[in-house]
Structure 1
Amino acid sequence: MSLAESWDRYAVESKPRRTVNARGETTWLNWTQYADHGPDENVLGPVAGHRVLELGSGSGSNLAHLVTLGATGLGVDVAPSRETVARERWGSLPGLEFRAAEATEFLSETDETFDVVLSIFGAVWFVDPDTLIPLIRSHMAAGGVLAFSHLPPGSQGSQATRSGLRHDRTPEEWRRILTGHGFSDVTVSLIEPPEGRAAGTMLVRAMAH
């Protein structure tokens, strides 16, 4: 089974995102695995007028929110079914496009430059960072922001997943990897889970220098 087929199978099992959140908003950005929890798009700084790339864009909802704030967005997801769902839901939104591709293949072929790159439980968690991070940096404008989230290391063990082992890294390891590949001002924070939930969320932010 190919990587795309594997993730397509997983996508079929995923619940669609709600159309309205607890605050009554029709678009929003959520860094964590829990509804209505954690920080919002302010992690990225101002996005109006910026070109944004999301690696592992899923149904497109997070990226669509940034486009409503004035960004232009490109979402890349390895699962073709995710691209289809994203286009069906958000295809009428100007300045937003989606593409089915594996992250490293896309970055190796594109000549675009981005001001913001984000990955929410996406490609940064599932692709060798020593391969992916330099590719991301090579397509970022100086002063651009990279931000990504995933489960804290060890929170689910080291079991195999659909795309092999998850690339869990400690905060110290992320700082070393990112600074070694052309990023600065690296911050790593742990978002505590809601009451009654065990696993928090690791959120990493860095600037391209």
Structure 2
Amino acid sequence: MPPHTPAEYWDTYKPHRGEGEQPAPVIDGFEWTQYPGHGPGAEILGRPARALDLGPAEGKEAVFLARQGCEVTGVDLSAAQVARATNWWRSEPRLRFVHADACDFLTADTQPFDTIYSVWGAVWFSDPEQLLPLVAKRLTPGGTFAFSQAEPTPGAYGPQPMHGKWLEGRAHELTVLRWQYTPQTWTNLLKRHGFTDIDARVLSAPETGMLGTLMVQARTSA
């Protein structure tokens, strides 16, 4: 039976590093791009006491922050990914993973966060008109919102379909939506929802012809 919901999509196509129990990944940095050692690290988040990771998947960035003394909550739509990350990182005292939709969690949970971030995660797959006001409400004054995703394809803006079969070469295919905009459009969206100090740009790949990374940072008013 093929998957029929976004949650089943991620349960089916992720984790995709092999069948059965996999070893935990090595945590040796905070990566915003798909190219190790390329681009900024956790320093763009400042030194938050409490952070929210939207769509943490394996939880590598969340673990990195937790080991720096930050209290981190990772929220993921996939029960499979939450179970895997919880099993891998159960000995990390400052880290917890929650199975929930990002918007649902931000609506139901009222605790404030010094930073909310997403590394190729839930921000990419959430309608910004719904997500951004919720993020703004949960950030402390002067808090940082940051996210990364693939650079947008020219002319393909707004909600775009992404097909799942290629991830594993499986017979079944499910389409989920991801939201793509130019850096200027992201800037306008964030301004409209009350964010300031906005830096939205495309970070070029380390080699010509490779996919770049959209990087966005913003703050709430102090």
Q: TM-score, normalised by structure 1?
A: 0.89
By how many angstroms is 1:154 displaced? 0.6
| Residue 14 of structure 2: aligned partner | 11
- Partner SS state of residue 13, structure 1: coil
Q: 1:84-129 deviations in whole A, cap 9, x for unaligned?
A: 1111111111111001111111111111111100011111111110
Q: Which amino acid aligns with 1:132?
A: L
Moved over 3 A (4+): 14-20, 155-159
Larger gyration radius, structure 1 or structure 2: 2
**Which one of the candidate residues 172, 176, 182 is aligned to 1:164?**
176
Aligned length: 202
Q: 1:62-101 deviations in whole A, cap 9, x for unaligned?
A: 0110111111000000001111111111111111100111
Q: TM-score, normalised by structure 2?
A: 0.84
The gaps in structure 1 that reach 5 residues or longer are 21-25
- Partner SS state of residue 174, structure 1: helix
- Partner SS state of residue 57, structure 2: coil
The gaps in structure 2 that reach 5 residues or longer are 163-173
Which whole-Å CA distance do the structure 2 matches of 1:156 and 1:164 have between them?
Answer: 19
RMSD: 2.1
By how many angstroms is 1:192 displaced? 1.6
- With over 3 angstroms needed to count, the CA separation of the structure-2 counterparts of 1:189 and 1:18, relative to structure 1, is farther
Q: Check whether the contact 2:6–2:176 (CA below 8 A) recurs between aligned residues.
A: no
Which whole-Å CA distance do the structure 2 matches of 1:188 and 1:144 have between them?
Answer: 17
- With over 3 angstroms needed to count, the CA separation of the structure-2 counterparts of 1:193 and 1:206, relative to structure 1, is same
**Which one of the candidate residues 177, 185, 191 is aligned to 1:179?**
191
Which whole-Å CA distance do the structure 1 matches of 2:104 and 2:47 have between them?
Answer: 29
| Residue 170 of structure 2: aligned partner | none
Which whole-Å CA distance do the structure 1 matches of 2:138 and 2:187 have between them?
Answer: 20
